[in-house]
Amino acid sequence: MNNATILLGSRRDKDGIEQPVSLKTSALTTHAAIFGATGSGKTGLIIGMIEDMVRLGVPVAAIDIKGDLANLALQPSGSDVRDKMAIRFLTPGADHGEAVNIFSGIANPDRITSTVSTLCKMLGVESDPLRSKPHSFISTIIQWRLRANKPVTIIDIMQDIADPPFEYLGVLPLEDVFPAASRGKLAAKLNNIVAAPSFQSWREGIDINIDKLFSAKPGKTPVVIFSVAHLVDDAERIFAISMFLEEMVSWMRKQPGVNDLKSCLLLDEMYGVMPPHPANPPTKKPLLTMLKQARAHGLGVVICSQNPMDVDYKGMSNAQTWLVGRLQTERDRDRVVAGICSATTQEERTMGSSISRLQPRQFLVVRPTGTAIFNTKDCQASLQGPMSPNEIRELFQTGIAEELGTMDKLALLLDNCRAAFEANQTDANWKALEEVQVAIDAEAGRRGH
């Protein structure tokens, strides 16, 4: 795929002849930053790029913060993209798409430190692994369960906080380091989260397993839309995104070294995700990690924003491809120009002048090898603006969006029933557990015939 390209649009040469403007897929392994104000044509450019990656068989994970990327599913009947795309919508904290067990990564041994840090922030306690006693305590619980081959769920952790399965934390007695009274307060805080009516939707659903999400039938290209547009609370939105990004980092590190684009992560808006120093939300570290390390694993990262002031300067400078549309203010232009000139050999005055005269659907592409102003192509998808939960639900009903298979759903249901029985060993919970196991056996038998 070294010579494969993504068509961005076209420009007129000195003779007035339309010439295509394309980007080699390998360029995305050094990452891209896309900036443009509302009405600049940024969404159409992004969706057009994803459509070409679908054609080329490059799996895409897109974090949809505004709801616009869902338009990718609105392909005309019989289009090549619709026929080749296996699109899934993950909706953490809601069920209009595929519900997500946002805590699925808690059993990932590669993610213990980061997951517990995020959990501590949710609980309102110190989250620094080197200073936080709650962090050390919860991490030790997870490690103990993993070594003992025991299940690890948020319910399991809460129970072990109240009744620890070990007597020492490090080399010191647990009671001296983190006494019962402190453990009781921590358990109460976690219980308040677990007992909240809305919490159920956060832990029932598919696991964030990138290998499974990036698998599809032969001839199909997986596209995973991780949609958080429905989450009105900033803290919930950042929490959900951080858990997805942490799973991406863990998955990335297990991929072999390659020189070409093998997969792509795209974020359609950066507000609150990777803000300038000193802000440090849980989304910032995993995203910066991928911007610095993902190239070696063939993972391209594309960050997009309508406001460059929302983006960390160091993170921005990791991108070697810049696509810049109309910007609202001079400060925005200055921010982008500074970022471009720190990452390339371009001259500030030339860049500033080029950006200031851009029209709607005109973008400036900047690469270390040169620049060009182009008009974006028309994407195949119908751009209707942010899609509502009901509109996304209809995509499943019409078969446009794919979802988890029967056996995978039953396996998830079995995990939830088991956790419910361990938390409350009643006859009703035991019966529910048995019924799911019977359903699994029946489905396995059906497949075996």
DSSP 44-107: HHHHHHHHHHHHHT--EEEEESSS-GGGGG-PPTT-HHHHHEEEEEE-TT-SSSB-B-TTGGGG
The answer to whether 30 and 368 have CB atoms below 8 angstroms apart is no
Indicate if the pLDDT at residue 447 is higher than 70. Answer: no
Distance separating alpha carbons of residues 151 and 418, to the nearest angstrom: 10
CA atoms within 13 A on the CB side of 319: 27
Q: What is the pLDDT of residue 23?
A: 95
Q: Extract the tokens encoding 281.
A: 């939300």
Distance separating alpha carbons of residues 112 and 250, to the nearest angstrom: 11
Q: What is the pLDDT of residue 108?
A: 84
Distance separating alpha carbons of residues 285 and 273, to the nearest angstrom: 10
Helices 133-147 and 154-162 pack at an angle, to 10 degrees, of 110
List, in sequence order, the alpha helices (H) in 271-372: 284-293, 313-316, 330-343, 348-356
Q: Which residues pair with 217 in a beta bridge?
A: none
Q: Is the peptide bond between 278 and the residue preceding it cis, with omega within 30 degrees of 0?
A: yes
Query: CB neighbours of 93 closer than 8 A, spacing ≥ 6?
Result: 100, 102, 198, 201, 202, 230, 231, 236, 240
Distance separating alpha carbons of residues 420 and 418, to the nearest angstrom: 5
In this structure, of 95-109, 255-269, 300-314, the range with the lowest mean pLDDT score is 95-109
Q: Extract the tokens encoding 268.
A: 């359609």
What 3-state class would DSSP assign to 344?
Answer: coil
Residue with tokens 């603006």: 385
Q: Extract the tokens encoding 395.
A: 């995509």
Q: What is the pLDDT of residue 423?
A: 66
Q: Extract the tokens encoding 98.
A: 């595929």
Helices 406-423 and 154-162 pack at an angle, to 10 degrees, of 10
Q: What is the pLDDT of residue 449?
A: 41
- Give the start-end residues of each E strand in 338-406: 362-367, 370-376
The answer to whether 53 and 214 have CB atoms below 8 angstroms apart is no
In this structure, of 97-111, 225-239, 365-379, the range with the lowest mean pLDDT score is 97-111
Phi (first) and psi of residue 374, to 5 degrees: -140, 160
Which is it for strands 263-267 and 299-305: parallel, antiparallel or unpaired?
A: parallel
Q: What is the pLDDT of residue 435?
A: 83
Q: Measuring CA to CA, how many Å separate 401 from each of 72, 156, 429?
A: 11, 33, 33
Full-model pTM: 0.85
Mean pLDDT of all residues belonging to the chain: 89
Burial of 2 (0-12, 13-18, 19+ CB in 10 A): exposed
Q: What is the pLDDT of residue 316?
A: 87
pLDDT tens digits, one per residue of 28-72 = 999 999 999 999 999 999 999 999 999 999 999 999 999 999 999
Q: What is the pLDDT of residue 197?
A: 77
Nearest-CA neighbor of 164 among 148, 175, 172? 175
Please report which confidence band the pLDDT of residue 180 belongs to, taking 50, 70 and 90 as the band edges: very high
**Run of H or E including 260:** none
Please report which confidence band the pLDDT of residue 405 belongs to, taking 50, 70 and 90 as the band edges: low
Q: What is the pLDDT of residue 341?
A: 86
Q: What is the pLDDT of residue 291?
A: 96
Length of the chain: 449
Please report which confidence band the pLDDT of residue 194 belongs to, taking 50, 70 and 90 as the band edges: confident
